Structure 1
Amino acid sequence: MDALLTSTFSVAIAEIGDKTQLLALLLAIRFSNKFAIISAILCATLINHAMAAWIGQWAIDWLDPQWSQYVVAGCFFAIALWVLIPDKMDDDDNRFYKLGAFGATFILFFIAEIGDKTQIATVVLAAKYHSLTWVIIGTTLGMLIANVPVVLAGHFSADKLPMKLIHRGCAVIFALLGVATLMW
């Protein structure tokens, strides 16, 4: 249960202001079929995060157990610093719009998540908790918790949120995960 809750909470917080959340806003403005957008976010995230969790599990099994705790903690500290850097959207995403709401969202979300903070967090969480299923479910729920309201609100502007405070809070959470990893 700890893996599920930590994965859900950390990814939901890390996703606020992330490029995929900005992408969700752009797609919600572009397409009226909110169900297709949300379904595609779910599918793309499940596949992407399942691959990331598997990599995390594989890497931690490959790594010497004496070092794994330090590597995982170091990764949490790195993510804490990374979330302080705001994301920006690419301008060439509109070439996928011809695929419709589901197709464009699926492809754009899948691509946007590659190497993204939340994907890296999924790798690290899977390495820490050794629970692929709960980490995948948790990180996917975290993505949905952060993105579904943006899709449903559509034109709600992210600039109304205290982004610097949110990013700093997220950095603190990941740093605390790093400290907790070192302590336990």
Structure 2
Amino acid sequence: MEALLVSTGIVALAEIGDKTQLLAFILAARFRRPLPIILGILVATLANHALAGALGAWLPGLFEPTTLAWILGIGFILMAGWMLIPDQFDEEDAQLARFGVFTTTLLAFFVAEMGDKTQIATVALAAQFQSFAQVVIGTTLGMMIANVPAVVLGDRISGAIPVRLVHAIAALIFAVLGVLALGRAIGWW
């Protein structure tokens, strides 16, 4: 249950102001059809995070526990720093309109998530908790918590969220996870 809750919370916070949330705003404004956009986000996120979670679940078999703890600790601390860097959105991510609303959303979100903070976080969380299903469900739920309101409410909420504060909180959570993993590597707990 911890893996599910931590994964959901971190990704929901990390996604605020992320390029995929900006993509959700753009797709909502462009197509004005929330249901196929939401379904496209869901399917793309499940596919992307399942791949990331599978990689994360595979990592513990490659490294001894202490080495993995060092890798995860450093990785989480780097993620904390990355959270403080604002995302840049490329309009080309939303330029697939010839495929229809659902397919455009699916393709745009899948591609936008490749190498994104939340995908990397999913790899690290799956390796940390060694709970593929809970992490993938949690990270997907976190994406939906952040992006469904962006699709449904659009511009009405975009300026109401203190993005820097939310990112700082997410960075703090990543830093705590990093310190905990490094503490395990050093043998503190």
Q: TM-score range by the shorter chain?
A: over 0.9
Counterpart AA for 1:96: L
Q: Hey, what does 1:156 align to over in structure 2? A: 156
Secondary structure of 2:96 counterpart? helix
Q: Hey, what does 1:137 align to over in structure 2? A: 137
Alignment size in residue pairs: 184
Q: Using the alignment, how far apart are the partners of 2:91 and 2:148 within structure 1?
A: 22
Aligned CA distance change for structure 1 residues 156 and 54 (closer, same or farther; 3 Å): same
Q: Hey, what does 2:82 align to over in structure 1? A: 82
List alignment gaps of at least 5 residues for structure 2: 184-188
CA offsets per residue over residues 80-121 of structure 1, 9 Å max, x none?
Answer: 000111011112234301212101100000000000000000
The alpha carbon displacement at 1:160 in A equals 3.2
CA offsets per residue over residues 17-46 of structure 1, 9 Å max, x none?
Answer: 100000000001011210100001000000
Q: Hey, what does 1:2 align to over in structure 2? A: 2
**Range moving further from structure 2, 105-114 or 92-101:** 92-101
List alignment gaps of at least 5 residues for structure 1: none
1:9-48 to 2 correspondences below 5 Å: 9-48=9-48
Q: Hey, what does 2:186 align to over in structure 1? A: none
Q: Using the alignment, how far apart are the partners of 1:161 and 1:95 within structure 2?
A: 26
Counterpart AA for 1:144: M
Q: Does 1:104 align with 2:104?
A: yes
Same amino acid, percent of matched pairs:
51
Aligned CA distance change for structure 1 residues 150 and 94 (closer, same or farther; 3 Å): closer
Q: Using the alignment, how far apart are the partners of 1:26 and 1:155 within structure 2?
A: 10
Counterpart AA for 2:114: I
Q: Hey, what does 1:93 align to over in structure 2? A: 93
TM norm structure 1: 0.95
Q: Does 1:182 align with 2:182?
A: yes
**Range moving further from structure 2, 36-45 or 54-63:** 54-63
RMSD of equivalent CA atoms: 1.2
Q: Using the alignment, how far apart are the partners of 1:63 and 1:158 within structure 2?
A: 42
TM norm structure 2: 0.93
Matched-pair contact (CA < 8 Å) for 2:73–2:181: yes
CA offsets per residue over residues 37-61 of structure 1, 9 Å max, x none?
Answer: 0001000000000000111111221
Moved over 4 A (4+): none
Q: Using the alignment, how far apart are the partners of 2:177 and 2:35 within structure 1?
A: 34
